[in-house]
Amino acid sequence: MNNRISLFFFVKVVSYILFILCITNSQTYAQVTANHPFYFGIGGGYGSTTWGQLVPSQNKTSVAMSMSTPTSVSEGGAIWNVFLGYELMPTFSVEGSYTRYPVAKVYFDEMSLFAFDHDGRTQFFTKTESTALAGKFMLILPNTRVKPFSTVGVAGVHRYDVIRDRWRVSPMFSVGFNYNITEHIMGEAGINYTGGYGESELDPAEDYVPFLYSAFLRLAYRFL
């Protein structure tokens, strides 16, 4: 949990720093016209939801907690992503994307509210996907094909399982770098954080939308 909080603050702080640097950098390159501004691509990597946040720590477990919260969670694994973007200038682009996260398996006590409401079941699978629209601010490094970037935008996070099927609008942040392999091919590596939703209630799994973390590699083709 502490590692995930640290990653969130790292992504957020680096995003702000790169944003400021890219705005300053754009003044120098405002007159430069990007070649082949449209691009689309696919990507993959490792990602995880945060259902584990609902599991109480060992020193806080009790009969009442075991009735309402999960006892354990299995989550994390491979993700895949598709995206489409338009580079308005060499230092800024607008990008839309879709990302599918690995399925999480959530376990409950046999005396839990979940088991009571679902004919004795003690586990369920939950799926998560997100769509996002974001602005990507890129920093031009002279005499190199590498562009560090910071992405800030809005994501729609979709959780669906036997308990709930719901969307949540959340903020998202990414940091990383692009590399222009050829005139038409661009590679990218980075990390991403997407917000979720949770509240204190008798059955916290009822309305929970997981926070999302990922590290990714992407490949894009530039056209037009």
Tokens of 82: 């598709």
Using the 8-state DSSP alphabet, how is residue 203 labeled?
Answer: S
Check the CA dihedral 195-197-199-204 and report its sign: negative
Binning pLDDT at 50, 70 and 90, where does residue 58 land?
Answer: confident
- Burial status of residue 169 (CB atoms within 10 A of its CB: 0-12, 13-18, 19 or more): exposed
The amino acid at residue 58 is Q
Model confidence at 6: pLDDT above 70: no
Q: How much is the pLDDT for 24?
A: 52
Give the DSSP per-residue string, 163-183. Answer: S-EEEEEEEEEEEEEEEE-SS
What pTM does this model have? 0.85
Q: What is the mean pLDDT of residues 193-220?
A: 93
DSSP-derived pairing of the beta strands 212-223 and 185-194: antiparallel
Q: How much is the pLDDT for 35?
A: 73
Model confidence at 27: pLDDT above 50: no
The C-alpha angle 120, 123, 125, rounded to 5 degrees, equals: 135
Q: How much is the pLDDT for 31?
A: 40
User: Which comes out higher in pLDDT, residue 143 or 31?
Assistant: 143
